[in-house]
Structure 1
Amino acid sequence: MKKYDLVVIGGGAGGLTVASGAASLGAKVALIEKGAALGGDCLHYGCVPSKALIAAANDVHYLQKTNDFGFTVSGKVDMKKVKERVKQAIQHIQVHDSTERFEDMGVDVYFGAAKFVDSHIITIADRERVYGKRIVVATGSRPIVPSIPGLDEVGYETNETIFDREELPETMIFIGGGPISLEIAQAYSRLGTQAIVLERSEAILGKEDESIQRLAIDFLSDEIDIRHHVSVKEVKQDGTRKVVIYEKNGKIEEVIGDELFLGAGRKPNTDQLEVEVAGVEVNERGYIVVNERLQTSVSHIYAIGDVNGQFPFTHAAGMEGKLIVQNAVLGLGRKVSYDRLPWTTYTSPEIFHIGKTEREAKASEGEIMVFQNGLEEVDRFVADHNVTGTVKIITNKKGKILGAHAIGKGAGDWMQTVIFAMEKGAKIGDLSTMVYPYPNQAAAIQRTADQYWREKLFKGSLPKITEKYIKWFR
């Protein structure tokens, strides 16, 4: 049995970050991946294929808009071509996550399902055993399959199967209105499918600022049929089509489509690890419980990424992975903080989020300031004929940025300036005094931040003082 300084279970974003970082520092590392290749859910079933699909759908959408210039476009989307583009993106990025690359770093890579034998020993595919002085669980998550009568008989798509489709359905029903469903629903809508989203709660995008939520619903409803307060009761087959029977406001209704997509949430991949053998605590939903140092109830075992239930984002797993290298390899005892963790929902327009919403900021700070500016006030968006969206920055009374939110084309990119400002402790006034090349989209941040100085300088007693000074100075 081989012994390692660190055993990493899971070859996704978090696990790869830990394995490469630890090996670079001289640790003897084993990396165990259940699937056939490294890269994890993000590369094969999540971030990469979904963004490739969205890009293809947006290309189709923009082609259809050429009618504005006198061109006409006809024909139907060839889903085989779309699938090919998605696979090309995966293959290109897979090179960076290749087994050979990690073996060249000195990492021993194993393929097979991992299980705990005790708190230090892991068995791989019930054949080989390895010993880890410290262990990191980074096994990710998978789609929840709700217990809906008839679902298994009718069949369905998830994010693990949708990117292999070679035919475009006329109608697709999405059960669940989370970010994954909304991104794929809009993409399919732009490719030519009628997309219907059935959402249990009152509103979609529940973690977003309320004003951003309202705008997002308005924009997305132009392309997607979103039905709220829906409780799915049964699914059945009607010839070649699928019927979803649901309750809405006390009434039983039904919707018919060619295909179903499950977007009802995610569940952690812990059920086959037998973590209880190692004494690792999990909560009622199956997530591994961790402390601020990302340690489990067994101090030498850590958990990062989707499996710990904090934030289901690739970049969150990567951030946690870097911290784990410091803690598990170097013993520094660093604490994780999610206060400045941003995320983007890649619908069109994109939705950006960092820090607190207005409601959260009021609850924690009491008195706050809110600065908001529509994209129609930004020359670049006007020139691009794409003024759909807004920027909202929330601060305390001293101008410290508590949260920032945006909806607009490319918001996930041009809002990066705010991330840096929050990371470095800069205030909203600093965002105003920066020089922004004209005309660019990030000027939306400047226009919003300028409101701070107008509030500070041009209201209250200061204008009266400067008026007297100017008269004296003359």
Structure 2
Amino acid sequence: MREVDVAIIGAGTAGMGAYRAALKHTDNIVLIEGGPYGTTCARVGCMPSKLLIAAAEAEEAVRRAAGFGVLATAPRIDGVEVMNRVRRERDRFVGFVNETVEGFDPSLRSKGCARFEDPHTLRLDTEEVVHAARIVVATGSASVIPKVFDAVGDRLIVNDDVFDWTDLPGAVAVFGGGVLGLELAQALNRLGVRVRLFGKGGGVGSLSDPSVRDAAAAIIGADLPFDPDADVQGITREGDTVVVSFRGGNAMHEERFDWLLAATGRAPVLDGLNLAASGLTLDERGAPKVDPLTMQVDGGHIFFAGDVAARIPLLHEAADDGRIAGDNAGRFPQVQTHRRRTPLGIVFTDPNIATVGASFAELSERSCDFATGEVDFADQGRARVLRQNRGLLRVYGERATGRLLGAEMVAPRGEHLAHLLAWAVQADMDVETALEMPFYHPVIEEGLRTALRNLSVNLGRRTENPPRSIDCGPGA
């Protein structure tokens, strides 16, 4: 039996972060991985999806060129080369991660799938047994596939499968109006694949502000068929074809696709861990409650980190989870709380969809006394110059203090606006301080200034909005 101070189950983003943090306290640790090295982000998430989106953006740039008076021949999509680059660059990113893990001391790594035998004992499927004083569980997440999709058999895929394609298909039905569904549906559509996006419950990404959600649905829907609350009546298989029957308006429709892409969310990987033997208190889903400030469970020696902790399934959050869990596992029982970063989520659609800080729904549910400010990018100067003038940004501020609380947006260059706002929220900045910051002209960020000015008026700190042309151009 191997005796260690800290055992870490999973060598993904969270697991690697936990390893590095725990190693600062003890070198008697083991990092256990049952599958291939390489994070979800590098293999099947952030990076390969952005490679596909980059190809779609290149196609869109050529297609839109005529709007600037630049005449080009219609782009021809070479699906084989598109997917060659996606896989080639994906493999490079995975290779970088593998090099990092393989650079860890081999004596501190074990290969095998681990399961609890008791609160301190792990048995690997290699029959190795590890007794650990503290344990970090960082087993990640896996795609959720509703049973209704079973009818299509091997014509069902998840996002992981897309990036192993050797060519682009003719038609794909995408189910799920979340981050993965939105990004992949729009990218595939722009690359010449016939796509229909079926949502459920009216959701568009993680947006909760009705005004922004409606704007985003309309913008995405202008590019491809998208129903955020689709009324699907049937899903069947005919030969190598997926047949989807759905109600649209007052009529029934039937459409055929090569594939059904299930982008219906991800769930923590708990199967096989035998958590019942861990001594932890588990809910009806068989999952424990995790303290987000310590990543500790039940105040004891077991910590959860990353997607398996069921907090916010994003790489930067997983990295923070791992750092916190590993630090506390290493220093246990002197556990410390850690301040969490301001929530920040970005969907790489065109325009970007983003959420920052407290959401509209959160502020409303806790009866926070807040005001909103907004900007419509239809006439925003820089956005019109770029022919990217679609979108709506809404920012929220506390009435009593003027402090910025959060924002939701579908906006051109929204990934950058979201970062500026996240930094401002984390710094406890108020709206007047934000308005004192420099804004160059002409830039998209002037749209944010317009929203902040509007928020200031609605908070009662200013009496009126300046004229739209005050800084040279309309919508500045």
Kindly provide the CA deviation profile for residues 88-141 of structure 1, in whole angstroms up to 9, marking residues without a partner as x.
332333344225555446772222222122222222223222222211111111
SS at match of 2:329: helix
CA contact (8 A) 2:152 2:235 kept: no
Residues 15-164 of structure 1 aligned to structure 2 (within 5 Å) = 15-37=15-37, 39-68=38-67, 69-74=69-74, 76-99=76-99, 101=101, 103-104=103-104, 108-148=108-148, 150-151=150-151, 153-164=153-164
Deviation of 1:196 (Å):
0.8
Deviates more, 1:113-122 or 1:449-458: 449-458
Relative contact order, CA 8 A, sep 6+: which one is greater?
2
Deviates more, 1:146-155 or 1:247-256: 247-256
Deviates more, 1:407-416 or 1:248-257: 248-257
SS at match of 2:23: helix
CA contact (8 A) 2:23 2:330 kept: no
The answer for the alignment partner of 1:356 in structure 2 is: 358
In structure 1, distance between residues paired with 2:299 and 2:290: 9
Residue correspondences, number: 459
Deviation of 1:365 (Å):
4.2
CA contact (8 A) 2:406 2:421 kept: no
CA distance 1:105–1:190, change in 2 (3 Å): same
Deviation of 1:255 (Å):
2.5
TM-score, normalised relative to structure 2? 0.88
1:373 matches 2:375: yes
Q: Which amino acid aligns with 1:243?
A: V
In structure 1, distance between residues paired with 2:208 and 2:59: 28
In structure 2, distance between residues paired with 1:105 and 1:433: 50
The answer for the alignment partner of 2:314 in structure 1 is: 313
Q: Which amino acid aligns with 1:381?
A: A
CA distance 1:169–1:96, change in 2 (3 Å): closer
TM-score, normalised relative to structure 1? 0.88
CA distance 1:248–1:228, change in 2 (3 Å): farther
In structure 1, distance between residues paired with 2:281 and 2:250: 40
Deviates more, 1:446-455 or 1:264-273: 446-455
Deviation of 1:64 (Å):
1.7
1:275 matches 2:275: yes
CA distance 1:2–1:242, change in 2 (3 Å): same
The answer for the alignment partner of 1:419 in structure 2 is: 422
The answer for the alignment partner of 1:296 in structure 2 is: 297
In structure 1, distance between residues paired with 2:154 and 2:456: 59
CA contact (8 A) 1:150 1:236 kept: no
Gaps of 5+ in 2: 465-476
SS at match of 2:156: coil
In structure 1, distance between residues paired with 2:55 and 2:390: 21
In structure 2, distance between residues paired with 1:364 and 1:227: 30
Residues 237-256 of structure 1 aligned to structure 2 (within 5 Å) = 237-246=237-246, 253-256=253-256
Residues 212-251 of structure 1 aligned to structure 2 (within 5 Å) = 212-230=212-230, 232=232, 234-246=234-246
Deviates more, 1:336-345 or 1:27-36: 336-345
The answer for the alignment partner of 1:393 in structure 2 is: 395
Kindly provide the CA deviation profile for residues 45-90 of structure 1, in whole angstroms up to 9, marking residues without a partner as x.
1111111111111111112223333433346422221222222332
Q: Which amino acid aligns with 2:362?
A: E
CA contact (8 A) 1:339 1:355 kept: no
Equivalent in 431, 445, 448 of residue 448 of structure 2: 445
Deviates more, 1:92-101 or 1:210-219: 92-101
The answer for the alignment partner of 1:382 in structure 2 is: 384
CA contact (8 A) 2:342 2:426 kept: yes
CA contact (8 A) 1:234 1:245 kept: yes
The answer for the alignment partner of 1:470 in structure 2 is: none
Kindly provide the CA deviation profile for residues 279-315 of structure 1, in whole angstroms up to 9, marking residues without a partner as x.
2333333443223432224711111222122222122
Deviates more, 1:27-36 or 1:445-454: 445-454
Equivalent in 459, 462, 473 of residue 463 of structure 2: 459
Kindly provide the CA deviation profile for residues 30-57 of structure 1, in whole angstroms up to 9, marking residues without a partner as x.
11222222x3212101111111111111
In structure 2, distance between residues paired with 1:106 and 1:425: 44
In structure 2, distance between residues paired with 1:282 and 1:294: 15
In structure 1, distance between residues paired with 2:125 and 2:219: 48
Equivalent in 421, 428, 432 of residue 431 of structure 2: 428
Kindly provide the CA deviation profile for residues 398-427 of structure 1, in whole angstroms up to 9, marking residues without a partner as x.
211121122222212232122112212111
In structure 2, distance between residues paired with 1:149 and 1:423: 42
C-alpha RMSD of matched pairs (Å) = 2.7
In structure 2, distance between residues paired with 1:299 and 1:155: 45
In structure 2, distance between residues paired with 1:32 and 1:277: 18
The answer for the alignment partner of 1:182 in structure 2 is: 182
In structure 2, distance between residues paired with 1:136 and 1:241: 44
Equivalent in 337, 343, 346 of residue 344 of structure 1: 346
Deviation of 1:219 (Å):
0.5
Give identity over the alignment, percent.
23
In structure 1, distance between residues paired with 2:407 and 2:75: 42
In structure 2, distance between residues paired with 1:107 and 1:96: 21
CA contact (8 A) 1:116 1:277 kept: yes
Deviation of 1:191 (Å):
0.2
Deviation of 1:450 (Å):
3.0
In structure 2, distance between residues paired with 1:334 and 1:320: 13
CA contact (8 A) 1:154 1:237 kept: no
Deviates more, 1:310-319 or 1:179-188: 310-319
In structure 1, distance between residues paired with 2:389 and 2:5: 54
In structure 2, distance between residues paired with 1:325 and 1:85: 36
SS at match of 1:98: helix
Q: Which amino acid aligns with 2:56?
A: A
Q: Which amino acid aligns with 1:352?
A: A
